Structure 1
Amino acid sequence: MLLSEGKIGNMRLKNRFVMLPTVTNLSNDGFVSEKEINYYDRRSKDVGLVIVEACYVNKFGKFFKNQLGIDGDDKIEGLKRLADVIKKNGAKVAVQLAMHNPKYKPSDFTVEDIKGFAKDFVDAAKRAKKAGFDAVELHFAHGWFVNQFLSPNVNTRDDEYGGDFDGRARFALEILENVKREVRDLTVICRINGSDYTDGGFDINESIKLSRLLEEHGADAINVSSGVGSTSEYHISPMGIDDRPLIAHVKKIKDSVSIPVIAADKLGVAADWESIVRQGYADFIGIARGLIGDPDCVGKYIEGKADEIKYCIHCNQACIAYIQKGLPVSCMMNPTVGREKEFDAAAKEKLNVAVIGGGPAGMSAAIYLAKKGHNVELFEKSDSLGGQLKVAKVPPHKSEIGEVIHYLEADLKKYGVKVNLNHEVTCDELKNMNYDKVIIATGSIPKKLNMKMGIVPLRAIDVLDGKIPNGSNVAVIGGGLTGLETAEYLATMGKTVTVLEELDEVGKDIYAMNKKLLIERLKNLGVRIVTNAKVDVINNVKIVYNNGNEVEADDVVIAIGNIPDEKFKKCVSDNIIFIGDCKEIATAVEAIRDGAELSLII
């Protein structure tokens, strides 16, 4: 089914795969850049349709720092180059037309303003057609501008653009009607929410009504998503959300219209994709983050190599989180995103390279150096690869992290890296190694708590590695990601857990969406969180903090962060390079990128 021809409007698509729009922050002040062209070129060879990322139709509706624009005729030339590259690869191409300005609400605008915004969408559609796009997608979802008009808890207008459902839907329908009337022969897809997932917000019942109206007014397909800013876990679902979270909404909408429906958001593995279309839940499979992480995922499916697909792990740490910070899109599994040409170069001189340490940075360095053409040998002191990823996958809702290890191991084998396990390299051995370059990637070690203690505390890394406290009351000192995840892990075992954090807030460095879900789960598990808690003394049965406050604890777990492992610092020589946590503490995303970027200079 997935490889059969599909049809949306007047477009005939070679298969049922759609590359969904994802802002990349790769543009040059709204204009198409070479990096953007390379990004889409890399991902458009196998899918039937590419929907280019949200393009702002006016400056007022630009939301991201380096978002792509379609707000002026001067953008057409670059957009045409982009469309031509995608079509040359055999895919049809659409562009998503969007506005988003969360500083304002529907009640802030006059009717004349609203008519002007609708015209901006029409003018953008005209530019899309001039640029050679086969279709446009109208962005009516995610709490963005038009979705705010649809949502009863946001739209408080009492005129023709507010009030009952028909009034709230008027703006969206006028945009659609005007585009269909003034830009003939252009296929139009509408992206809508199945639900806002907010109290009193746009829900599935209204979504079904809207879908029918959109079809009546000329929409050629419906692309179903969900969630607004405060509930974005329902359109960019992270690990804590089960697979296929929106599929019930998709099916209800599909059963209500006769035009094609596109499914989206964490759709599972290839077998799930097949069943979604075969069982009539949707007509097309939409993939966004999956094509960021593995641009060849659809090609592998087509070639019968679905077992080689590197499925997105939904960490959101380098795609969505980076975009929201104004950074270019990236990926934990694929640090070449948006930099495809940079990593294409082959080694001019093949070197013999040793990599010491089999964590994420070391594995990544070995892979990308070998891919470039160097002879690489990796040494790991333990009996398995993965470093701290091995414990990062242990807490509840984190098992997908383990897939990163499997993908890295597969690439080590693919590119011919010789791996030596149970081999702890010493400084003396290092001095006698006959390698052109030696890469030190030994990672980090947990910080120690320097204070008076009447017991020997456990380290969070050891707890996650299987050393479970015997007592029923456990105190976790440190409210960062590791501390909170360790607390959740222990609480699911029935332990009574208290987290003590010295700062005024726990999880300050955790991506907001992931933090929200984690804090909710901790609350449901009864985990007590104490902030502004400076620990003074740890004795046999209690912890004293802030000069007199006490917490009873049978066991204490320390999770106050890590410091670089510096055991090789004394071995410095001209051919040694330090990468990853042993150079500077960072995330797995940055460790893997650090390893990959080494190949750009060696």
Structure 2
Amino acid sequence: MSILYSSLALKQKTLETRLVVSPMCQYTAVDGYANHWHLVHLGQFAAGKASTILQEATAILPEGRISYGDLGLWQDDQIPALKDIVDFVHQQGSLIGIQLAHAGRKASHDKPWLSRHQLAPSDTNGWQTVAPSALSFQESDMVPEALDGAGIQKIVKAFQEAAKRAVEAGYDIIEIHAAHGYLIHQFLSPLSNQRTDAYGGSFENRIRLLLEIIEAVNTVIQQQSLWLRISATDWAAGGWDIEESVLLAQRVQALGVEVIDVSTGGNVLHQEIPIAANYQVPFAARIKEESELITGAVGLIKTASQAEAILQKKQADLIFIGRGFLENPHLAMQFAKDLGLDFPWSKQYERAK
């Protein structure tokens, strides 16, 4: 019996399969507003019977965008276009989540197919970045402004307000993005956080911002499930590591987080990461073993048998796939076929079955 195609009950929602579409930035929004591209992009996964879909990193503030093409949810009039997407996904029988994010020092970039450069405040479409400390990601980047106490509280409030709008739009899942070197991850890691106040130094201080965001978001959640994406390691000496990730998982579980989406890296430049099939799975397995959180595995999981084996070995509870769904939006159908399962296709596509 396939675990990948078995259901998983959360407190308020039920995932019909264990296969989740990861958030994938499209860099195609205008002033943060969703458009037809986002409707078709996310809608195609629902038409292809993906049971759970996570929308790309959606900025809580304009200056929190990775690029000027990022989606945003910092004002009420951004809700209607997102609600159209949510409604379509629900009509196909799928669940949809939103990943709320702030890019911190890694914000203000050009669209990646135009350049990989960070845009200066004086450039068209550029702005001043912020971070826990005035440390740039790389030498060619601008030096971010270190957030003061008022700036930190503005961030917490913005996450709360964006989550409230996400509830209004009808999302089933709210995922807080604390991975890949973006703002919350920058606070977590001692390599990017050199503060000497209550938000820096000790483990308790470095996780403080994230805990405050979780608590604030929880005040506006209704029937939504709260998820968290982390990078379990910086892959660098003296950085955030798996031991701290396990401790964090145990802490956020008590605050109402249901699912932890375990990735790695992104906070500092690396000389070498042992990238190979399943290279991030051991981190998910460790967190699953040492916490009671539902745990998701990501990264170079390319085949149905590979995904099924991870679940059978109890290394994770969910499989998150991004690039595979870009290559084949009907990957849920294909994986079921590969496993020899009689999986229901969309009626409109059954002629191809």
TM over 0.5: yes
| 1:278 equivalent in alignment to 2:312 | yes
For the residue of structure 1 that corresponds to 2:80, the secondary structure is helix
For the residue of structure 1 that corresponds to 2:219, the secondary structure is helix
Distance 1:268 1:38, change over 3 A: closer
> Residue in 2 aligned with 1:59?
62
> Residue in 2 aligned with 1:227?
265
Q: Is the 8 A contact 1:8 1:260 kept in 2?
A: no
Q: Is the 8 A contact 1:58 1:71 kept in 2?
A: yes
> Residue in 2 aligned with 1:105?
131
Determine what percentage of the aligned residue pairs are the same residue: 29
> Residue in 1 aligned with 2:322?
288
Q: Shift of residue 15 of structure 1? A: 0.6
Partner Cα separation in structure 1 for residue 286 and residue 79 of structure 2: 38
> Residue in 2 aligned with 1:36?
38
For the residue of structure 1 that corresponds to 2:72, the secondary structure is coil
> Residue in 2 aligned with 1:24?
26
> Residue in 2 aligned with 1:115?
153
Partner Cα separation in structure 1 for residue 263 and residue 168 of structure 2: 28
For the residue of structure 2 that corresponds to 1:95, the secondary structure is strand
Gaps of 5+ in 1: 307-413, 415-602
Count of matched residue pairs: 304
Q: Which has the higher contact order (CA 8 A, sep 6+)?
A: 2
Q: Shift of residue 44 of structure 1? A: 2.0
Gaps of 5+ in 2: 106-128, 134-145, 341-351
1:353-404 Cα shifts (integer Å, max 9, x gaps): xxxxxxxxxxxxxxxxxxxxxxxxxxxxxxxxxxxxxxxxxxxxxxxxxxxx
Partner Cα separation in structure 1 for residue 177 and residue 298 of structure 2: 14
| 1:157 equivalent in alignment to 2:159 | no
Distance 1:71 1:226, change over 3 A: same
1:122-161 Cα shifts (integer Å, max 9, x gaps): 1000000000101110000011000000001111111111
Partner Cα separation in structure 1 for residue 271 and residue 246 of structure 2: 21
Q: Shift of residue 231 of structure 1? A: 4.7
1:487-528 Cα shifts (integer Å, max 9, x gaps): xxxxxxxxxxxxxxxxxxxxxxxxxxxxxxxxxxxxxxxxxx
For the residue of structure 1 that corresponds to 2:160, the secondary structure is helix
For the residue of structure 1 that corresponds to 2:290, the secondary structure is coil
> Residue in 2 aligned with 1:217?
255
TM-score (norm 1): 0.49
For the residue of structure 2 that corresponds to 1:149, the secondary structure is helix
For the residue of structure 2 that corresponds to 1:254, the secondary structure is helix
For the residue of structure 2 that corresponds to 1:44, the secondary structure is helix
For the residue of structure 1 that corresponds to 2:157, the secondary structure is helix
Trace 1:295-310 onto structure 2 (pairs within 5 A): 295-304=329-338
Pick which of 11-20 and 240-249 moved more: 240-249
Distance 1:211 1:260, change over 3 A: same
Q: Is the 8 A contact 2:246 2:286 kept in 1?
A: yes
What is the one-letter code of the residue matched to 1:135?
A: I
For the residue of structure 2 that corresponds to 1:188, the secondary structure is strand
What is the one-letter code of the residue matched to 1:188?
A: L
Stretches of 4+ aligned residues off by more than 6 angstroms: none
Partner Cα separation in structure 2 for residue 2 and residue 209 of structure 1: 28
Partner Cα separation in structure 1 for residue 271 and residue 22 of structure 2: 17
| 1:147 equivalent in alignment to 2:173 | no
Q: Shift of residue 8 of structure 1? A: 3.2
What is the one-letter code of the residue matched to 1:287?
A: I
Partner Cα separation in structure 1 for residue 267 and residue 293 of structure 2: 28
For the residue of structure 2 that corresponds to 1:245, the secondary structure is coil
Partner Cα separation in structure 2 for residue 53 and residue 262 of structure 1: 17
> Residue in 1 aligned with 2:120?
none
Q: Shift of residue 291 of structure 1? A: 0.1
> Residue in 2 aligned with 1:320?
none
> Residue in 2 aligned with 1:208?
246
| 1:68 equivalent in alignment to 2:71 | yes
Trace 1:154-193 onto structure 2 (pairs within 5 A): 154-193=192-231
> Residue in 1 aligned with 2:287?
253
Partner Cα separation in structure 1 for residue 220 and residue 226 of structure 2: 12
Q: Shift of residue 232 of structure 1? A: 7.8
Q: Is the 8 A contact 2:156 2:209 kept in 1?
A: yes
Partner Cα separation in structure 2 for residue 305 and residue 168 of structure 1: 44
Partner Cα separation in structure 2 for residue 157 and residue 300 of structure 1: 49
1:159-184 Cα shifts (integer Å, max 9, x gaps): 11111000000000110011112323
> Residue in 1 aligned with 2:119?
none
1:75-129 Cα shifts (integer Å, max 9, x gaps): 0001100111111121111100000131433031111211110110010000000
Q: Shift of residue 5 of structure 1? A: 0.7
Give the alignment partner of residue 77 of structure 1, picking from 77, 80, 87. 80
What is the one-letter code of the residue matched to 2:219?
A: R
For the residue of structure 1 that corresponds to 2:230, the secondary structure is strand
Q: Is the 8 A contact 1:47 1:298 kept in 2?
A: yes
Q: Is the 8 A contact 1:233 1:241 kept in 2?
A: no
Q: Shift of residue 16 of structure 1? A: 0.5
Trace 1:377-388 onto structure 2 (pairs within 5 A): none
| 1:50 equivalent in alignment to 2:53 | yes
Q: Is the 8 A contact 1:5 1:12 kept in 2?
A: yes
Q: Is the 8 A contact 1:9 1:221 kept in 2?
A: no
1:432-473 Cα shifts (integer Å, max 9, x gaps): xxxxxxxxxxxxxxxxxxxxxxxxxxxxxxxxxxxxxxxxxx
Give the alignment partner of residue 4 of structure 1, picking from 3, 6, 27. 6
Partner Cα separation in structure 2 for residue 20 and residue 10 of structure 1: 21
What is the one-letter code of the residue matched to 2:276?
A: D
What is the one-letter code of the residue matched to 2:63?
A: F
Partner Cα separation in structure 2 for residue 270 and residue 232 of structure 1: 30
Q: Shift of residue 305 of structure 1? A: 6.6
